[in-house]
């Protein structure tokens, strides 16, 4: 069932973002008087097709990993004389640039709308209050202490742990000083420390924890919540609401101690003393083995934790009116765009590991996680992925929108198109680069599995 949910989450995610992207191309082409022959979401054999009064076919195809807008073009077939003015190749370079840029711009507009919607509907975040500080980390060098709230990172306000993580991620692989503005018992404090290539070679880094900060969290008792069907927990007879008292005779202090004990025993039969409905009993559960991101085998039993309420003072409710939400949406958009651009630049320059490049498998897994987590998480994921899709498509690589814009811009400046020989060479290089990036992304995905 989990595989089906993951695939469905991927289809929904890509379906939304591809439709938005291709609609941008479609809408601008229509506005400029270019004849659109087909608007397809997906590749391959159409599963559904409809034709409008303009002769445009709308299709949903079998392979949901992209899409395209096909326009009338003399380079792709015979065009009647009376329709040649409607062909894409007959348009001026500025018009063709507008059509090519419209897809990424549509992705950016969608991200702004998503952040605006979240601000209007309202969402709750957890205040970024320090719990523990790991020794030998930048956080320890800063002398951070439990109970401090992170207000700013390098001058950027950080109302939530997501903001803290995004701000710290921008410093990955860098030299120089990072500054934090903190609050402790009503006093504002500024702390700083030097970075020396921090996170440069990390794969899928967690910038907050790699910085040495363990976020504050309420005491979480070892009480089970959701039990996954077919999991070792279900096979052992564990049920939601069970409190784990001891494992192999050793008392369990809290949920995290229980997780650590299970992860340390892949494939090992564990005796668990539990409390259920006021009485105690003993069950035996054998954690399944899985490989983590570092290649280590860890145990898992397929059980979640019972939900715990956060103290009211640790929760931050954000809800804005439609007008006030506009600048907030653009601010969120710019922060995420800047983070993505910085990450792309650092991977290109070698400051950040290319192992962070993700492919469809990772996207599917994250999509499924955010769908099950809730509406806010899924919309934020869509917005961030939409920004990434827009930026990637603007890269000056042939076959991408940015490559087309580069050629059309060159034609605009020089007054004549790039020769077919040069275009062919750049196209082959672009295909090779895209193929290499695809293989790398899939390789990284497999390692994450």
Q: Which residues pair with 195 in a beta bridge?
A: 176
The DSSP element (H or E) to which 65 belongs, if any, is strand 57-71
Cα dist from 38 to 58, 66, 85, whole Å: 6, 14, 18
10 Å CB burial of residue 133 (0-12, 13-18, 19+) is buried
22 carries an active-site annotation: yes
Q: How many CA atoms lie within 13 A of 131 on its CB side?
A: 12
Q: Give the total residue count for the chain.
A: 449
Cα–Cα distance for residue pair 412/410, rounded to 1 Å = 5
Distance CA 273, CA 283 (A): 7
Q: What is the distance, to the nearest Å, from the Cα of residue 112 to the centroid of all Cα atoms in its chain?
A: 16
Backbone φ, ψ for residue 294 (5° rounding): -100, 5
**Do residues 117 and 379 touch, judged by C-beta distance below 8 A?**
yes
Q: At which residue do the structure tokens 């983070």 appear?
A: 339
Alpha-helix runs per DSSP H in 65-223: 93-121, 138-141, 161-169, 207-210
Strands (E), 115-257: 123-126, 130-133, 149-153, 156-157, 175-184, 187-196, 213-215, 224-227, 243-247, 250-251
Catalytic residue among 22, 174, 210, 368: 22
Distances (CA, A) of 297 to 169, 201, 267, 442: 27, 22, 10, 21
* Token pair recorded at residue 94: 């500025």
Tell me which residue of 108, 156, 121 sits closest to 325, measured CA to CA: 121
Residues assigned a catalytic role: 22
């Amino acid at each position: 069932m989990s595989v089906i949910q993951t695939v469905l989450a991927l289809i929904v995610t890509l379906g939304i973002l591809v439709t938005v992207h291709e609609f941008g191309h479609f809408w601008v082409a229509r506005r400029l008087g270019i004849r659109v022959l087909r608007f397809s979401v997906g590749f391959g054999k159409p599963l559904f097709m409809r034709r409008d009064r303009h002769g445009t076919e709308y299709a949903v195809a079998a392979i949901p990993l992209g899409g395209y807008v096909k326009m009338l073009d003399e380079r792709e077939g015979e065009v009647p004389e009376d329709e040649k003015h409607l062909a894409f190749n007959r348009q001026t370079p500025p018009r063709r640039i507008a059509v090519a840029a419209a897809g990424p711009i549509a992705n950016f507009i969608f991200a702004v709308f998503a952040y605006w919607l979240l601000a209007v509907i309202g969402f709750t975040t957890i205040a970024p209050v320090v719990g523990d500080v790991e020794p030998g980390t930048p956080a320890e060098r800063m002398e951070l202490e439990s109970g401090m709230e992170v207000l700013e990172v390098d001058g950027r306000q950080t109302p939530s742990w997501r903001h803290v993580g995004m701000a710290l991620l921008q410093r990955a692989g860098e030299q120089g000083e990072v500054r934090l503005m903190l609050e402790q018992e009503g006093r504002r404090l500024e702390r700083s420390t030097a970075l020396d290539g921090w996170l440069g070679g990390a794969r899928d880094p967690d910038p907050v924890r790699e910085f040495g900060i363990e976020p504050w969290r309420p005491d979480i008792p070892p009480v089970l919540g959701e039990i996954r069907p077919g999991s070792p927990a279900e096979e052992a007879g564990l049920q939601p609401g069970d409190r784990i008292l001891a494992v192999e005779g050793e008392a369990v202090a809290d949920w995290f101690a229980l997780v650590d004990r299970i992860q340390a025993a892949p494939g090992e039969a564990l005796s668990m003393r539990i409390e259920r409905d006021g009485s105690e009993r003993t069950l035996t559960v054998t954690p399944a083995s899985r490989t983590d991101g570092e290649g280590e085998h860890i145990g898992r039993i397929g059980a979640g934790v019972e939900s715990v309420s956060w103290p009211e003072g640790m929760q931050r409710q954000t809800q804005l009116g439609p007008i006030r939400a506009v600048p907030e949406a653009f601010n969120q958009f710019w922060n995420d765009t800047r983070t993505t651009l910085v990450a792309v630049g650092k991977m290109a320059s070698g400051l950040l590991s290319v192992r962070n490049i993700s492919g469809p498998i990772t996207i599917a897994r994250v999509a499924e996680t955010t769908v099950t987590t809730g509406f806010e998480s899924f919309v934020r994921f869509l917005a961030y992925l939409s920004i990434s899709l827009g930026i990637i498509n603007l890269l000056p690589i042939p076959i991408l929108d940015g490559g087309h814009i580069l050629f059309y811009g060159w034609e605009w400046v020089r007054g004549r198109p790039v020769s077919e020989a040069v275009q062919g060479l750049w196209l082959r290089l672009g295909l090779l680069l895209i193929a290499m990036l695809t293989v790398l992304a899939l390789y990284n995905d497999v390692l994450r599995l």
